Structure 1
Amino acid sequence: MLTTIICAAVTAAGLGLAVLTARRRRYRAATRTAAYALVPLGLLMTGILDWITDLVLKPTVWAGFGVLALSAVLFTVSRAAERRAVAATESDAVAPVASAPSLGPGRPAATPRPAKTKSGAGDDFSDVEAILKKHGI
């Protein structure tokens, strides 16, 4: 009964607002407002509103939502614990280098070769100077 009164009042207010909007020659906005205003009345007439109010006001429904929330929390915690366990087993290996392939006995270590150096700093910029002179800079 109360939901019927509320839906009728919301619909009437919305339609009144649509009429005022239409008087200002804003017909698209008035049509949209009228469409929104008719939704509560349509929900009431189809019976969906009674189903929604029963859903919201029943304690067993809220208990069911609580059970679903608890299930989601437990699932999340178990996934986080599983990820930590996998990360711990990967990083706490007893001999992590033991699984790497060996180079074999008797191979000499590679000796680093000195890098080639140019004769002087003037040679490095001679190409740049030539390009600048060519363009008149």
Structure 2
Amino acid sequence: MLTSTVCAAVSAAGLGIAALTAYRKRFLAATRIAAFSLIPIGLVMTGVIDWVTNIVFKPTVWAGFGVLALSFVLFSVSRVVERRRGGIGSRKERKAAAAATPDAVAPAASVPSLGAGRGAGRPAAKGKTGQGKGGAPKDDFSDIEAILKKHGI
């Protein structure tokens, strides 16, 4: 009831100021003032003011907002701490998981096919035999190193 009276008084004062502004021949400003002054009485008529006052003046509602704020703060702090420590999904964990991953079941199974394919499809580069000590294929990075040296990198 009190809120309805206050809103009606604010609207009446706003309309009075709009009338004075219109009297001074500032019609555009008077129209804006009148529009803003009608908002409080419109809110009272639609029932929004009663709903807002029920929210504002109930302690349980404020306690609920406090609990929500506390929840948000705790969540944010936990995320910050997790990132600083390198928590779930961090680089350290991913590297450790990659290192712990077992190699292929039979890593030597593809060696003959690579050796045969290299010699049959294209000739070996100058000065390279394709075989290192003991008959094992040379390091694959040697080709890349040669290309980088050629370009001065």
TM-score tier by shorter-chain length is 0.5 to 0.7
Q: What is residue 122 of structure 1 aligned with on the other side?
A: none
Aligned-partner Cα distance in 2 for 1:62–1:88: 42
The normalised TM-score by structure 2 is 0.57
Q: What is residue 34 of structure 1 aligned with on the other side?
A: 34
Q: What is residue 57 of structure 2 aligned with on the other side?
A: 57
Aligned-partner Cα distance in 1 for 2:4–2:74: 41
The alpha-carbon deviation at position 87 of structure 1 amounts to 6.6
Q: Within 5 Å, give how 1:38-117 maps onto structure 2.
A: 38-83=38-83, 84-85=86-87, 89=92
* RMSD, aligned CA: 3.3
% identical aligned pairs: 63
The normalised TM-score by structure 1 is 0.63
Aligned-partner Cα distance in 1 for 2:57–2:82: 38
1:30-87 Cα distance to aligned partner (Å, 9 max, x none): 0010000000000001111000000101111101101110110011011101105477
1:72-112 Cα distance to aligned partner (Å, 9 max, x none): 0011011101105477948xx9xxxxxxxxxx7xx9xxxxx
Name the CA shift for 1:82/1:74 in 2 (closer, same or farther; >3 Å): same
Q: Compare relative contact order (CA 8 Å, sep 6+) and give the higher one, 1 or 2.
A: 1
Aligned-partner Cα distance in 2 for 1:21–1:12: 14
Counting matched residue pairs gives 109
SS of the equivalent of 2:78 reads: helix
